[in-house]
Amino acid sequence: MHTSRLRIVSDICPMSGNDSLCPSGTRWQGNVAPSTSPIIWHNDGYTATVLRTPILTWYRTFTANNTPPAELPRATSLLTLHEWIPTSMPTHFRGWKHISAPDLAAVTFLEADYAAKWSEQARRHLRTFRRSTLRLELGTLEDVDIVNKHSQVPRGLQDVFRNVVKRHLATQPNTLDFLIAKSHDGTPCAAFVAGNCDEIQQSTYLVGCFDPAFAKDFPMVGLVDWWFQRSLERGYRSVNFGDIVPPRPLPSFLEHGIGYSLFKTHFNIHRVNLPGCFWKIMLR
């Protein structure tokens, strides 16, 4: 697979505080965080419980900045494992061990004439989409399910992605946009689900799929264009395409993600370096 496009993407480190380029420490993300116990909220983030047994309790704390959490949940097991995930690399993290590979996210900063900085291929595909008979409408999770019956998404991942959307629907349905492309007879042929986080003025890609029978019309490019438009209308500053692979070669078992990453590179993205996880072990 030709991967040279991965090497032309600009790398940046995320800004801290209110200028965060990652929603992980926001209340919007905390509302849907999996947890075996109620979420513990902080001024700058939240803590979820990954595991709780008499022997081991595992807490995962997200912060919207790079300052270590001021308070940690009280130990209730013999061994307590604290995992801390900041949104930018901390300068001081005494008492914490940084044992993690960095995470990479693909983020585009929005401009009025955003498509002018897309690749020539993306602009050409957008022109093709606009000449097609496909139309764009707001839809529902059921429309996504219809597309997934014929989509390129592996069956094993469809339920994973669907559950992410269902958690948002259960807690904050008004923050989701179901962007659907339909054929001339009204059948959904592509779907793009975006989650809108007012806290950091960013819209985040959650789920996407398309029917390969309509690939020549490039419905996903049309949906990305609509996503950019709607995000600008909200006054947002950026859109987040989610994970992206690094520019260096990958182990063969990870190569399935390269195609998705290459698609993202056509939309003037920056590769945001997130610091990953910090750890602390406490004995009672």
Strand order in the sheet with 278-283: 40-42, 45-52, 56-63, 79-85, 278-283
Kindly provide the b/e burial profile for residues 159-174, where b requires at least 16 CB atoms within 10 angstroms of the residue's own CB.
eebbebbeebbeebee
Reference 67, options 48, 49, 42; nearest CA is 42
pTM of the model: 0.91
Residue 64: per-residue pLDDT: 86
CB 49 within 8 A of CB 59: yes
The residues with which 81 forms a beta bridge, in sequence order, are 58, 281
CATH class of 111-236: alpha beta
Entry field: residues in the chain: 284
Residue 99: per-residue pLDDT: 86
Residue 215: per-residue pLDDT: 95
The residues with which 205 forms a beta bridge, in sequence order, are 194
Domain map (residue ranges) of the chain: 22-101+276-283, 111-236
Residue 252: per-residue pLDDT: 53
Helix axes 219-233, 120-131, angle to 10 degrees: 100
Residue 274: per-residue pLDDT: 87
pLDDT tens-digit map of 193-233: 999 999 999 999 999 999 999 999 999 999 999 999 999 99
- Counting as low any pLDDT under 50, the low residues of the chain are 1, 16-18
